[in-house]
Structure 1
């Protein structure tokens, strides 16, 4: 197959070994060519802008700008680039957030490379590719019940920050932060803040 017919790819993943392995395996496919790699969301956006690939393979949990935020920015700046989420975290909330951000597909990292290569081809062809088990669980989980503010304060509470500390970081009153935390605890049917964080993380809501 000629080079002009190749599907160009950017691989974004914060784990160097995995990033290199993915790139090397995809390069073995005659119709795929890796034109750039990135170690975090901001770099992914920059590399996509510089190389204008057909497809960007995007991890979700990366330092700084995460993969979902990077997907939204990259798609807005480079609408011709399709994004395929490739992640360890098969969480229904992540799937919904990724698709809402403009991703065309969502697969897990333990998928065989042949399946990943096929997902790249299908996404490039304009199709949507979603891990079947995750798609099914997403239907039963429902949408993220948390507001953006509730997600924000719950993320900040994950490492044990006090309401006062969170309040100073997001420019709200401690009372407002406590109200948001209380609402989040109720919406995820948790008994306390720590449990609410665990549930929301497990479902990919924060």
Structure 2
């Protein structure tokens, strides 16, 4: 039996996934959690073989959770199963050590097959997303530019962002200007939106 851990902050989604996957003769859901920061402990406790992770979860997002699993519980592989099929998410998830990336509307038979393939050490990627990822390419943003965009997302002033980032206001302005140029945005709000849509943040 392949032992599964499901991590999704929506209980209804977790329940539906569990019901579908438990129908498979070789799959068993051994744990369900609603937060990313609960995954590593649950994986250790239940000796899960594969963790199915949503991208957007409280506590720790799915990409950071995949990295934590790869580092702390290498015997548990991870498969991102998300509504948010963004090209940048795919690349970041694979770089973090995820074994696969599929979207939630994947048919149940294909999802079960993806779990088996990830368990056997193969990489599984939604084909449409793989094409989109190749078209979009890597994030053009540096880590600092991305960090400043995230801090600016709620509409804070340059001074507020500078205070949170422990940077000078001039440096923050430079990062925001550079991020706007790289995303082709006219405003920082537009730069945030474009970066989010591509999964770069």
Q: TM-score of the superposition, structure 1-length normalised?
A: 0.94
Give the structure 2 partner of residue 61 of structure 1.
Answer: 56
Contact 1:60 1:86 in 2 (8 A): yes
In the alignment, the residues of structure 2 paired with residue 170 and residue 103 of structure 1 have an alpha-carbon distance, to the nearest angstrom, of 29
Please point out which of 148, 152, 160 is paired with 1:157: 152
Runs (4+) of structure 1 moved beyond 3 Å?
none
Task: For structure 1, list consecutive stretches of 5 or more residues without a partner in the other structure.
Answer: 1-5
Tell me by how many angstroms 1:60 deviates: 0.4
Q: Is the 8 A contact 1:99 1:105 kept in 2?
A: yes
Matching residue of 1:21: 16
The answer to whether structure 1 residue 101 and structure 2 residue 132 are counterparts is no
* Match of residue 185, structure 2, among 172, 190, 195: 190
Shift of 1:9: 0.5
How much is the aligned-residue C-alpha RMSD, in angstroms?
1.0
- The answer for the alignment partner of 1:205 in structure 2 is 200
The alpha-carbon deviation at position 64 of structure 1 amounts to: 2.6
The answer as to 2:109 corresponding to 1:114 is yes
- 1:52/1:78 contact within 8 Å kept: no
Partner secondary structure for residue 64 of structure 1 = coil
Q: How far, CA to CA, are the matches of 2:12 and 2:154 in structure 1?
A: 28
1:163/1:52 CA distance change after superposition, 3 Å? farther
SS in 1 for 2:60: coil
